[in-house]
Amino acid sequence: MPFRALGLGDLILKAIDDAGYTEPTPIQAAAIPEVLAGHDLIGIAQTGTGKTAAFTLPILAKLSGVVGDGTPRRPRVLILAPTRELVAQIDENIRAYAKYLPLRMALVYGGVSERPQIQAMRDGVDIVVACPGRLLDLIQQRHCDFSKLTHLVLDEADRMLDMGFIPQIRRVLKALPAKRQTLMFSATLSKEIEELTHEFQRSPKIVQIGRRANPAATVTQLVYEVQQHLKPALLAHLLGSSELNMVLVFTRTKHGADRVARKLEQTGVKTATLHSNRSQAQRLRALADFKSGAVRVLVATDIAARGIDVDGISHVVNFDFPMHSEDYVHRIGRTGRAQAIGDAISFITPDDRGPLHTLERFIGRGIVRKRAEGFDYHAPAPPRDEQPRDPRGPRPARGGFRSGGPPRQREERGRPRYR
Ligand code: AMP
């Protein structure tokens, strides 16, 4: 189906054409007519499915059909999202789709000065894209007049729920007109999300696009069994291959991310970090450098990486195995986007075996185990006199026996490979 068949208006079609989209994604084909018809909507779709355009395009079409009444501009659309990165990304998308429309936008998020955000509100805007916390601050200081609001979007509602934003969102909603169109997007439809739809929406239509719970369709996945203290050395070793040219590395903690980045920099690999201890400017810079190729590796935590939309990521490395299977799916969904083939590599220590089995049940398939010689946790430590002289070099592999079991066939010999 061509975009033209959806009735979006010529100026929007021109912008879509400029963006190089040839036809709507499934979530767009399903959601756009419902939104244009004025229904509330629940969209069950993950980042990477084209969901931002699915809610933005029809809202822009509706806004562009409304002629101003001569009074100063007041926000007509509010989009709430859980992280600053996602806010910035939604903004980037809307600016592309609305490039031929005379609409003004404001971004509202914490960690930076309020003043320009307050000024933008005063100057008059049509669309506000915001994180709930800072927006609530501005509402409480009476800097926002949402009396003309017609559209509300809650993006990544499941993550906002997980992050504890719901009480703030409830208070934001008190400042909005009751008569409005409300669209809610979530990666999963849980009981809690259903309860929120009853609270925030009226007879919503549901659009559900096959969950990418099986990212295996485009992403090659494997795990390396590795000793905890050898993870940095294994990562540096894998990065010896030029195939890993744009690598997103996930760690469990912010300090862990900093540590990994420091170690990689020491081996000459250009690396940036993305986590919530970094300032907004540093985070945007890290993303920009990663996108442009100025840094080869971006080390991130789950929350900061939420919604990262970067084309061409060659590999995702789970330096620390994620605690929740959903996070694994989100992480590896960063690669293999737009049908590119990407690799997801996970490091697991003996402690991660339980979560790995849980994950395999969750995604409904087993994941290939690899052993990188010299790093793997089955190998006993070599006798002292056989330690390598170069302290940075990997230890020579020994054994390959599981305790009490027969010798295991090595899957790898010589230099570790990752495919
Ligand atoms: P999203 O799920 O909104 O994060 O979008 C994922 C990526 O798909 C973004 O890079 C969009 O620019 C891109 N995209 C959205 N809609 C289309 C489309 N109809 N055709 C091709 N790419 C698209």
Other beta carbons within 10 angstroms of residue 283's beta carbon come to: 23
Of 65 and 267, the structure prediction assigns the larger pLDDT to 267
**pLDDT value at 403 more than 70:** no
Number of Cα atoms under 13 Å in the Cβ half of residue 147: 7
Same domain, 195 and 227: no
Distance CA 158, CA 156 (A): 5
Per-residue pLDDT, averaged over 172-198, amounts to 90
% of the chain beyond a pLDDT of 70: 84
Same domain, 154 and 283: no
Distance CA 87, CA 287 (A): 14
Same domain, 99 and 132: yes
Residue 28, in any domain of the structure: yes
∠355-360-364 over CA atoms, to 5°? 150
Return the structure tokens found at 57.
């395009």
**pLDDT value at 405 more than 50:** no
Query: Residue 393: what pLDDT?
Result: 42
Q: Which atom of ligand 1 is nearest to the CA of 45?
A: 2
Query: Residue 69: what pLDDT?
Result: 62
Same domain, 318 and 234: yes
Query: Residue 212: what pLDDT?
Result: 45
Residue 52, in any domain of the structure: yes
Residue 250, in any domain of the structure: yes
End residue of a domain, out of 208, 235, 264: 208
Same domain, 307 and 180: no
| Pocket of ligand 1, beta carbon within 6 A | 21, 24-25, 28, 47-53, 309
Q: Atom 20 (ligand 1): residue with closest C-alpha?
A: 21
Q: What is the pLDDT of residues 76-106, one digit of tens each?
A: 999 999 999 999 999 999 999 999 999 999 9
Query: Residue 338: what pLDDT?
Result: 47
How many angstroms does the Cα of residue 402 sit away from the middle of ligand 1? 47
Residue 256, in any domain of the structure: yes
Other beta carbons within 10 angstroms of residue 373's beta carbon come to: 19
Residue 384, in any domain of the structure: no
Q: What is the pLDDT of residues 48-57, one digit of tens each?
A: 788 999 999 9
**pLDDT value at 269 more than 50:** yes
Distance CA 133, CA 143 (A): 14
Same domain, 49 and 183: yes
What is the average pLDDT score of the chain?
A: 84
Q: For a ligand 1 pocket test, name from 1, 6, 13, 21 the mutation site with the most ligand atoms within 8 angstroms of its C-beta.
A: 21
End residue of a domain, out of 150, 177, 208: 208
Residue 287, in any domain of the structure: yes
Same domain, 286 and 249: yes
Q: For a ligand 1 pocket test, name from 13, 28, 52, 306 the mutation site with the most ligand atoms within 8 angstroms of its C-beta.
A: 52
Q: Which atom of ligand 1 is nearest to the CA of 96?
A: 12
Per-residue pLDDT, averaged over 374-386, amounts to 63
Query: Residue 127: what pLDDT?
Result: 97
Beta strands in 11-84 (DSSP E): 41-44, 77-80
Of 312 and 356, the structure prediction assigns the larger pLDDT to 356
Same domain, 246 and 148: no
How many angstroms does the Cα of residue 152 sit away from the middle of ligand 1? 21
Report residue 279 CA to chain centroid gap: 18
Return the structure tokens found at 360.
């395999």
How many angstroms does the Cα of residue 352 sit away from the middle of ligand 1? 34
Least confident of 60-74, 188-202, 278-292, 384-398: 384-398
Same domain, 145 and 278: no
Same domain, 104 and 236: no
CA distances from 29 to 7, 60, 81, 199, 214 (A): 11, 16, 23, 27, 22
CA distances from 53 to 19, 93, 180, 228, 260 (A): 11, 7, 20, 42, 35
- Place 382 in a pLDDT band, splitting at 50, 70 and 90: low
Per-residue pLDDT, averaged over 203-224, amounts to 72
Of 410 and 313, the structure prediction assigns the larger pLDDT to 313
Of 386 and 288, the structure prediction assigns the larger pLDDT to 288
Residue 380, in any domain of the structure: no
Contact between residue 44 and residue 186 where contact means Cβ atoms under 8 Å apart: yes
Q: What is the pLDDT of residues 133-166, one digit of tens each?
A: 999 999 999 999 999 999 999 999 988 988 899 9
**pLDDT value at 167 more than 60:** yes
Distance CA 61, CA 68 (A): 15
**pLDDT value at 375 more than 50:** yes
The per-type count for the chain, helices as H runs and strands as E runs, is 15, 14
Distance CA 24, CA 51 (A): 10
Q: Atom 5 (ligand 1): residue with closest C-alpha?
A: 50
Q: Most confidently modeled of 68-77, 109-118, 210-219?
A: 109-118
For 9, the domain range is 3-208
Q: What is the CATH number of the domain that holds 258?
A: 3.40.50.300
**pLDDT value at 216 more than 60:** no
Please count the structural domains in the chain: 2
Q: Atom 8 (ligand 1): residue with closest C-alpha?
A: 50
For residue 167, give every residue at least 6 positions away whose Cβ sits within 8 Å of its Cβ, in sequence order, or none. none
Q: For a ligand 1 pocket test, name from 3, 12, 13, 25 the mutation site with the most ligand atoms within 8 angstroms of its C-beta.
A: 25
Nearest Cα residue to 315 out of 270, 248, 232, 237: 248
Q: Which atom of ligand 1 is nearest to the CA of 311?
A: 10
Residue 30, in any domain of the structure: yes
Q: What is the pLDDT of residues 1-32, one digit of tens each?
A: 789 999 899 999 999 999 888 888 889 999 99
Q: What is the pLDDT of residues 319-365, one digit of tens each?
A: 999 988 878 888 887 775 544 456 899 999 999 999 999 888 777 77
How many angstroms does the Cα of residue 162 sit away from the middle of ligand 1? 25
Same domain, 159 and 233: no
Same domain, 173 and 54: yes
Separation of first and last alpha carbons in the chain: 38
